[in-house]
Amino acid sequence: MNAVEKFKSTADNFDELAYLTEKMVAKFERTEDMLARPEMVENREPNNSQPDLIDLFNGINNRLELVLNKIGSNVEKIINMID
């Protein structure tokens, strides 16, 4: 596995973690008589173009930053709900 594939794999793992934290927030926000929210599935278009290496790494880095911010926000929500 080359460096770019490893980087993308790590970003995918962060996406999965963000999804789990979103599910946790939804479960904490839901009361017994409420139905669960329909799960949101991101529509990602496959990237068919070949970006240069710097753009490729910058794109994955931006994706990781967004996902990490989402995870942090969700964890803060959960902590506040627990308190």
Measured CA to CA, the distance from residue 38 to residue 59 in angstroms comes to 29
Domain limits of the chain? 51-83
Tens digit of pLDDT for each residue in 38-61? 554 444 455 556 668 888 888 889
pLDDT at 43: 46
Low-confidence ranges of the chain (pLDDT < 70): 1, 31-51
Measured CA to CA, the distance from residue 63 to residue 77 in angstroms comes to 21
What's the DSSP call for residue 33?
Answer: T
Whether 15 contacts 60, CB under 8 Å? no
- Whether the full predicted model's pTM is greater than 0.85, yes or no, is no
pLDDT at 41: 44
Measured CA to CA, the distance from residue 67 to residue 60 in angstroms comes to 11
pLDDT at 46: 54
